[in-house]
A = this chain, B = another copy of it.
Amino acid sequence: MKQLLIGVLVLVFSVLVQAELPVDEIGIIEKLPATYPDSWVYAHDTNFYSLLDGKVVIVDVAAENRHYKGSLGVGQFGSFLPANTRPELYAAETFYSKRLRGERTDVITIYDRVNLSPIDEIVLPGGKRGQFVTFKSSLQFLNNEQFLLLMNFSPATSVTVIDIEKRKIVSEVQIPGCSMIYPTAKLSFASLCSDDLMLVSHLNKDGSINKQERTAKFFSGDDDPLFMFNGKIGNTAYFPSFKGQIYPVDLSSAKPKAGKSWSMLSKKEMAENWRPGGWQIVSAHANGQLYVLMHKDGFNGSHKNGGSEVWVFDTTMKKRIKRVVLKEWGVSIEVTKGDKPHLVVTNGNYDLDIYSATDGSWQRMIGGRAFEMPMVLHAAN
């Protein structure tokens, strides 16, 4: 009788349990894979409306849903760089002890890519970390990601070299009259200079400066300046100019070799003043295609105005192979890696429009106030 009763109770209980949703586990925190799929993008939200509270949002642009994968704070005109050789992310930022004031601390914060949590930091002395609207070239790797290089601006310009494996600062390289970091060979980087050339800084194995040299002049900052952003295909960086030239720079040896520039524009397009414009105005894919954000009726000063179209060039033929007419006005563009690349566009509402990079078709919009101003986009891998 007693056994029967227990049996009945067990039966009733299990029926009930099946009829109800189970209790959920409490305290689960999501994790991300150590290597992200090719369809993921780091969207750096400069957040002009609250500059100290900038962030990077990690987005899967290809998924049907759950596009927002996670975020990390990168504030006060911060710089950001994901590693490829280890599951780490680097954020260069500035804190004040009392948020808007008080003691200033510049740091490189090292984030674990799986947990998006800070695992270490390197304090940067001197309060001179360069604060810019957000560039990619202000934080770069050398020597297979052994060295992390950070741009300073005080307004004197220099580059701090950090051994990021050992997590310590090893040197500071002065780059007077020049700006930003374009890695060339294992231990060398170039910077763009006010006198229309590149300064090349060669480091020793320990990260200290070995020597510096200058390339020949190869562009005109007065008449047609190069943008800071470039599209890199293999060892060649393609720098667009304000008026629509493409300047290929071969970075395969320590000293960069500027190739012959070519125009993106037909005579008609030149007459219509088509020009590159926006923030991150260029991106590239390993298949040799260069993507440039373009606008019509350009003028002196329109180089940050964004664009209505993305033009796709075959860099071997130096020929346009596609025009993507954007659904919404574009501000920044990035092309993802891999076989099925996506063209990611920060639009004028500061949401992301996702297009197929292959056929230019619009696929989805990712937004909903995920970002205030995602000015820079880093494709994963």
Known interface pairs A50-B47, A53-B52; A97-B95 also in contact (CB < 8 Å) = yes
From B99, B101, B372, A52 is in contact (CB under 8 Å) with B99
Among A114-141, those with CB < 8 Å from B are 118
- Per-residue CB contact flags for chain A residues 346-381 toward chain B (1 = under 8 Å, else 0) read 000000000000000000000001001000000000
> Which residues does chain B contribute within 8 Å of A100, judged by CB atoms?
73
Known interface pairs A53-B50, A53-B52; A99-B99 also in contact (CB < 8 Å) = yes
Q: Can you identify 7 A-B contacts, CB atoms within 8 angstroms?
A: A49-B372, A50-B50, A50-B53, A52-B53, A73-B100, A75-B99, A101-B118
- Bound CA–CA A105/B101 (angstroms): 14
Report if A2 contacts B (CB, 8 A).
no
- Per-residue CB contact flags for chain A residues 163-202 toward chain B (1 = under 8 Å, else 0) read 0000000000000000000000000000000000000000
CB distance from A84 to the nearest CB of B (A): 26
| Copies of this chain, tallied across the complex | 2
Report if A98 contacts B (CB, 8 A).
yes
Closest Cβ neighbor of A76 among chain B residues: B99
Are A49 and B369 in touch, CB under 8 angstroms? yes
Q: Which 9 A-B pairs have the closest CB atoms?
A: A50-B50, A50-B53, A73-B100, A53-B53, A95-B99, A95-B98, A75-B99, A52-B53, A73-B99
- Bound CA–CA A105/B95 (angstroms): 14
> Which residues does chain B contribute within 8 Å of A53, judged by CB atoms?
50, 52-53, 99
- Bound CA–CA A107/B107 (angstroms): 25
> Which residues does chain B contribute within 8 Å of A95, judged by CB atoms?
97-99
- Bound CA–CA A97/B103 (angstroms): 10
CB distance from A106 to the nearest CB of B (A): 12
Closest Cβ neighbor of A103 among chain B residues: B97
- Per-residue CB contact flags for chain A residues 62-97 toward chain B (1 = under 8 Å, else 0) read 000000000001010000000000000000000101
- Bound CA–CA A95/B100 (angstroms): 10
- Bound CA–CA A292/B97 (angstroms): 41
- Bound CA–CA A190/B55 (angstroms): 42
- Bound CA–CA A50/B100 (angstroms): 14
> Which residues does chain B contribute within 8 Å of A97, judged by CB atoms?
95, 97
- Bound CA–CA A95/B97 (angstroms): 7
> Which residues does chain B contribute within 8 Å of A98, judged by CB atoms?
95, 105, 107, 109
Closest Cβ neighbor of A107 among chain B residues: B98
- Bound CA–CA A243/B99 (angstroms): 41
- Bound CA–CA A374/B340 (angstroms): 45
